[in-house]
Amino acid sequence: MIVRAIILLSTVLLVLDSGLMTYGDPLRALPIRLSVVDSHSDIPALMYYTTVVEGGVLLGAMRRLQQTQDHFKFTVSEDPDYGLFLESVNGVASTDQTYWEVLVESSGTTVRISMGVGCYVPKANDHIILKLTTWPISRENTEHELEAFTEK
């Protein structure tokens, strides 16, 4: 009986230990760059260096940057379907005609991310670009833009 109890206890400890080894490794901080581009103003593009936890979302890196860097701030709003929408960057808010587009440059290619900042998981050395972009409001342009979105 005692032997059984000891075997059971050892098994439980072994399982717990292997679980802790899998989930308990220190989190790696991956370096990323983040640029803010507002071509609607005379403000030159700003570039920041920050880190994202391996497997962590862009929002986490942006929050870390906001806490450590006086000149970077942003706000988000919550959409019931798609999560967090980036509303403003460095005090410049999106409007009916503009929004903060989120792009990523990686290995020389720049693409628009296909989800919000609360879901996107950056890779090491990604260059994230927050770009104030005109949102086409004419019907013709809107349809074109809708196609570009839905093709993805």
List alpha helices for the chain, DSSP H.
Answer: 2-23, 58-68, 139-151
Q: Which of 85, 90, 105, 121 binds ligand B12 (CB under 6 A)?
A: 85
Please identify, using beta-carbon distances, which residue of 4 and 152 lies nearer to ligand B12: 152
Q: State yes or no: residue 115 binds ligand B12 (CB under 6 A).
A: yes
**What are the two backbone dihedrals, phi and then psi, of residue 85, each rounded to the nearest 5 degrees?**
-105, 125
Place of tokens 């901080």: 29
Does 59 contact ligand B12 by CB under 6 A?
A: no
Give Cβ neighbours of residue 113 (< 8 Å, ≥ 6 apart): 58, 102, 103, 104, 120
The percent of the chain in helix, strand and coil, each rounded to the nearest 5, is: 30, 35, 35
Pick from 29, 53, 83, 105 the residue near ligand B12 by CB under 6 A: 83
Q: CB nearer to ligand B12: give 20 or 111.
A: 111
| 102 interacts with ligand B12 by CB under 6 A | yes
Residue nearest ligand B12 by beta-carbon distance: 116
Residue whose structure tokens are 């410049």 = 92
What does the per-residue mask of binding to ligand B12 show for 35-54, with x meaning CB under 6 A?
--------------------
